[in-house]
Chain A
């Protein structure tokens, strides 16, 4: 059965303290690994798509990487406005995405 697991469930950082969020998966026929950001009371917002092992994408303080078993979302020198829940998801060719439970990130000033 295809599965995705995100860790940690929650992470508290000080402003400027870099860290990484993990998304590990067991998926047959992966057709993309995706990262979304969700702010409280809002719908998820698309961040990145990764298709093959070794691929990296960057956006401001965020960098997503992909291996054959997991994806990392690296946050460099985070700011309080980076506080949100970060969701990873995968596509196996069905007309749907399967989402992980998310990592709640809190960045304190």
Chain B
């Protein structure tokens, strides 16, 4: 089954404790992206990647890091999480440069205390 998977689905952590949210897709997509979704603000892009070793900032990259060492994986790293990073996070992928029709993962709900 074609899908985007994220782990963990739920995470409660404390300020400053480094964490990684994994994202993997099995569709051989070149483009991958991370979004955060907050009430009243909609989906905002954090980082994206056009291909292996090619990443770039989205609209809200502060406090986040990403890497793209393999085509299928695009982990999101929070080196020192803060409470304002409490949010619902989505990973997405799409074929080639077709950023329009993105396939989204199920989401990771992160709470930073």
Chain A positions within 8 Å of B, measured between CB atoms, are: 32, 34, 41-46, 49, 87, 89, 91, 95-102
B87 within 8 A of A: no
Distance in angstroms between the alpha carbons of A42 and B33 in the assembled complex: 16
B62 to chain A, nearest CB (A): 16
With both beta carbons as reference points, the residue of chain A lying nearest to B50 in the complex is identified as: A95
* CB-CB under 8 A for A46 and B103, given A95-B56, A96-B33, A96-B58: yes
In the assembled complex, which residues on chain B have CB atoms less than 8 Å from the CB atom of A45? Answer: 104
Chain B positions within 8 Å of A, measured between CB atoms, are: 4, 31, 33, 35, 40-45, 48, 50, 56, 58-59, 90, 92, 97, 99-107
Cross-chain contact B58 with A32 (CB below 8 angstroms): no
Q: Is the interface of A mostly helix, strand, loop or mixed?
A: loop
Cross-chain contact B90 with A101 (CB below 8 angstroms): no
